Amino acid sequence: MNRIFLIPLGVLALFTGGVLFSLLLRISPGEVISALASEETRFALKLSFMTSFFSTALALLLAVPSGYFLARTAFPGKAILDTFLDLPLVITPLVAGVGLLFLFGNEMLGNQLARWGIHVLFTPLGAVLAQTFVACPIVMRSSRAAFERVGYGYEWAAATMGLRPVQVFFQVSLPMAKKGILAGCLLGWTRAMGEFGATLMVAGAIRFKTETLPIAVYLSISSGEMGTAIACAWILMAAGFLLLLALRSIDHGTRPGTSLRG
């Protein structure tokens, strides 16, 4: 009976494979080697890893405590706030980029930040903030779900032994929820690596300055360098594929409480 579900599964697999295969047909091994040897591609790859790493780290600092608070606290308007924090998941990245462009423009935060020597627009910092904006909801959702799977009993037992709330968080809740948090971290990192629309609006498309891999694909297509564009796209997809494989390797089935032993 389950064989009937093979039809949509096969169509989905063929559709995905067809898109990837069509990209593969348009590039030769020589073009891949040339793209990898290009100084511009290496710069874009390095910048992509750097900005996505810092944006994911920033998302962890903001989203993990937020997810814990939402998982453990009931308050009026919680559903509204919860929905509000999910908005970056549904906002078109280009529109999100416009909002960030206005927020860090001279009429709002730009002038004040410039007095402190901080420049956001059309800098790598702008790319980090744009990627953080889209990665935070993903990390927060996964973190909240991970904390909700941790029973209150463990935290209560730790509190009765004299641990302060901060100690309970770092010594009990965080270790027990680490697999779910790591899963959210990898998903957020994958999303940050592929971010284009918001990054384009905030950081711009400046070669050898704000050129991440998605921006490099855009610039190469714009200049007619289709081989380089597709090679960069394959590098980006390969990085995303490896991160998703790492995500698959995380065992979500580990029962809460195993980290307390020892």
Q: Looking at the chain, list the stretches that DSSP marks H as alpha helix, in order from N- to C-terminal side.
A: 6-25, 29-37, 39-72, 78-85, 87-90, 93-103, 111-115, 124-149, 152-160, 165-168, 174-176, 178-193, 197-203, 213-222, 226-248
Average confidence (pLDDT) over 24-37:
76
pLDDT value of position 25: 78
Per-residue pLDDT tens over the stretch 90-122 = 898 899 999 999 999 988 998 999 999 999 999
CA distance 187 to 63: 13
pLDDT value of position 250: 73
Per-residue pLDDT tens over the stretch 69-96 = 999 888 999 999 999 999 998 898 899 9
More confident residue, 156 or 78: 78
pLDDT value of position 226: 81
More confident residue, 42 or 258: 42
CA distance 64 to 181: 7
pLDDT value of position 255: 44
> What does pLDDT average to over the chain?
87
Nearest to 32 by CA among 232, 234, 231: 231
CA distance 21 to 15: 10
Average confidence (pLDDT) over 164-173:
86
Return the top range by mean pLDDT from 15-29, 38-52, 160-174: 38-52
With a cut of 80, say whether residue 253 has pLDDT above it. Answer: no
27-260 classified as CATH 1.10.3720.10: yes
pLDDT tier, 1 (very low <50, low <70, confident <90, very high otherwise): low
pLDDT value of position 64: 95
Average confidence (pLDDT) over 180-199:
92
More confident residue, 150 or 60: 60
Per-residue pLDDT tens over the stretch 195-237 = 999 999 999 999 999 999 999 999 988 888 887 888 888 888 8
Which backbone phi and psi does 117 adopt, to 5 degrees?
80, 20
With a cut of 80, say whether residue 259 has pLDDT above it. Answer: no
pLDDT value of position 251: 55
